[in-house]
Amino acid sequence: MSSQLSFEINGRTADLPLISGSEGETAIDISKLRSETGTITLDPGYVNTGACTSGITFLNGEKGILRYRGYPIEQLAENSNFLEVSYLLIHGELPNAGELEDFERNITRHTLLHEDLRHIYQAFPKGAHPMAMLSCVVNALSTFYPDFSSTDQKGVDLAIWRLLGKMPTIASWAFKKNIGQPFIYPSNKLNYCANFLSMMFRVPAVDYEPAEEFVKALNVLFILHADHEQNCSTSTVRLVGSSQANLFASIASGIAALWGPLHGGANQAVLEMLMMIHNDGGNVGKFVEMAKDKDSGFRLMGFGHRVYKNFDPRALIIKNYCDQILEKVGLHDPLLEIAKQLEQVALEDDFFKERKLYPNVDFYSGIIYKALGFPVDMFTVLFALGRLPGWIAHWAEMRQSPPKIGRPRQIYTGAIERPFLPLEARG
């Protein structure tokens, strides 16, 4: 097979190398296309554009495969814990016992926030969306740790531990701010997920011990969200990081990108949609019809995916888990019934079949988060906590590559050159 693609365009010949990945995918390297032919590619939404090569996550949307560093997501969700998976994503290999212990200890040592950071929360209005607070406070970490240098590996490691350690504290304090309860300080006796649950749900007056199954559920959900290759927020982290912006600033921009309802914000939107259907009498058929009507402006949130055109393996795991968790907490949630009916009706409908629209990771996750006691506006924050090691891994991988600022081109479609019009001559 030729490892080069030759073709003629604008009367000039382009000889473009073909690049192959380890799972047999092939890309045309178009980096010299413009210099050789004067032509660029146009791909709005980057539907067909590889922005980088990456050794972190493999996914095959046609076959429903997702692997972190070669390990199937199903096996990681079943056997691993979130910090172990974080280590795997960031360092490339599963840690041995000593490496895991060091990693966990280093992260746990950095769970406290600088006391001055507390005061930032006072400036937010009550009811501020926690994603806005999360992005803002993560960015503010750069002002508390300005010595962080992106060229020094020790400094990078420290920033990574700080970020992983502090994010749960920042996130839970955004929740406490909104409900007017005192901030709960981290407890280094607890593991990562138990500590987060404790900072969320403990009040100083009452003892609180997170239920084991809640800790396990959160671990699994975080693992399922931990990376998803070049999605909108990860690409944002890479793009911002490509200007050599520091890790905190790059992650803060990823959080902002994740917030949108077409991306991570979909988990909040799904639960709001299920509540709307429930309050409307539970007629799922009516909402499926609405989603098919392009003029309605309504989409089935939690359905469809840019890459998965078969099923989302994460959604399958979460769906099975959903039943188990609700049973364990002894909760009957009518929204779960609505979600299942909606899924069935949509999957049998030609509109959804033809477009290969299946439930995605966000379709069932909110029902679990709700059962664990999280308010709806914290759902996307939970996604961000899970995605953090993936963002870090991509930022770090990009740093290891030869420096190249991300800078797409465009096809200009505006006015061609024209002379300046004085004010009195304008209509």
Q: How far is the CB of 316 from ligand CMC (least distance, A)?
A: 14
Check residue 313 for interaction with ligand CMC (CB under 6 A). Answer: no
Give the closest residue to 202 by CA, choosing from 219, 221, 179, 223: 179
Q: How far is the CB of 44 from ligand CMC (least distance, A)?
A: 10
Task: Choose, from 225, 312, 362, 394, the residue flagged as catalytic.
Answer: 362
Interface residue with ligand CMC, options 167, 245, 255, 357 (CB under 6 A) = 357
Interface residue with ligand CMC, options 163, 174, 301, 392 (CB under 6 A) = 301
Q: Where are the beta strands (DSSP E) in 272-318?
A: none
Check residue 223 for interaction with ligand CMC (CB under 6 A). Answer: no
Check residue 314 for interaction with ligand CMC (CB under 6 A). Answer: no
In the bound state with ligand CMC, the residue whose beta carbon lies nearer, of 61 and 155, is: 61
In the bound state with ligand CMC, the residue whose beta carbon lies nearer, of 133 and 361, is: 361
Interface residue with ligand CMC, options 90, 190, 266, 338 (CB under 6 A) = 266
C-alpha torsion sign, points 235, 240, 242, 245 = negative
Task: Choose, from 129, 225, 305, 394, the residue flagged as catalytic.
Answer: 305
* Interface region with ligand CMC, contact rule CB under 6 A, candidates 10-18, 107-115, 189-197, 357-365: 357-365
Partners of 5 in the beta sheet? 16
Query: Is the CB of residue 45 less than 8 Å from the CB of residue 58?
Result: no
Partners of 58 in the beta sheet? 67
Cβ neighbours, 10 Å, residue 390:
26
CA distance to 95, 223, 285, 336, per residue, from 277 (Å): 45, 30, 10, 12
In the bound state with ligand CMC, the residue whose beta carbon lies nearer, of 200 and 357, is: 357
Check residue 394 for interaction with ligand CMC (CB under 6 A). Answer: no
Q: How far is the CB of 110 from ligand CMC (least distance, A)?
A: 28
Q: How far is the CB of 192 from ligand CMC (least distance, A)?
A: 22
Rg (Cα) of the chain, in Å, rounded? Answer: 23
Check residue 276 for interaction with ligand CMC (CB under 6 A). Answer: no
Check residue 360 for interaction with ligand CMC (CB under 6 A). Answer: yes
Residues 132-161 that bind ligand CMC (CB under 6 A): none
Check residue 338 for interaction with ligand CMC (CB under 6 A). Answer: no
Check residue 300 for interaction with ligand CMC (CB under 6 A). Answer: yes
DSSP-assigned letters across all residues of 32-99? THHHHHS-----GGGTT------SSEEEETTTTEEEETTEEHHHHHHH--HHHHHHHHHHSS---HHH
Interface residue with ligand CMC, options 303, 369, 374, 391 (CB under 6 A) = 303
Partners of 317 in the beta sheet? none
d(CA 397, CA 400): 5
* Active-site annotation holds for 305: yes
* Interface region with ligand CMC, contact rule CB under 6 A, candidates 31-39, 138-146, 302-310, 390-398: 302-310
Both tokens of 263, joined, read 């991306």
Interface residue with ligand CMC, options 355, 373, 401, 408 (CB under 6 A) = 355
Check residue 387 for interaction with ligand CMC (CB under 6 A). Answer: no
Check residue 390 for interaction with ligand CMC (CB under 6 A). Answer: no
* Interface region with ligand CMC, contact rule CB under 6 A, candidates 116-124, 214-222, 262-270, 409-417: 262-270
**Binding footprint of ligand CMC, residue count (CB under 6 A):** 21
Query: Is the CB of residue 131 less than 8 Å from the CB of residue 141?
Result: no
Residues 29-88 that bind ligand CMC (CB under 6 A): 45
List CB contacts of 40: < 8 A, sequence separation 6 or more.
Answer: 33, 34, 409, 411
In the bound state with ligand CMC, the residue whose beta carbon lies nearer, of 237 and 300, is: 300
Interface residue with ligand CMC, options 168, 254, 304, 390 (CB under 6 A) = 304
CA distance to 48, 86, 131, 145, 314, per residue, from 192 (Å): 38, 12, 20, 22, 22
Check residue 162 for interaction with ligand CMC (CB under 6 A). Answer: no
Q: b/e per residue, 333-359, with b = 16+ CB within 10 A?
A: bebbebbbbbbebbeebeebeeeebbb
* Active-site annotation holds for 394: no
Query: Is the CB of residue 346 less than 8 Å from the CB of residue 288?
Result: yes
Active site residues: 305, 362
Query: Which residues form the interface with ligand CMC (CB under 6 A)?
Result: 45, 228, 231, 262-264, 266, 291, 299-306, 355, 357, 360-362
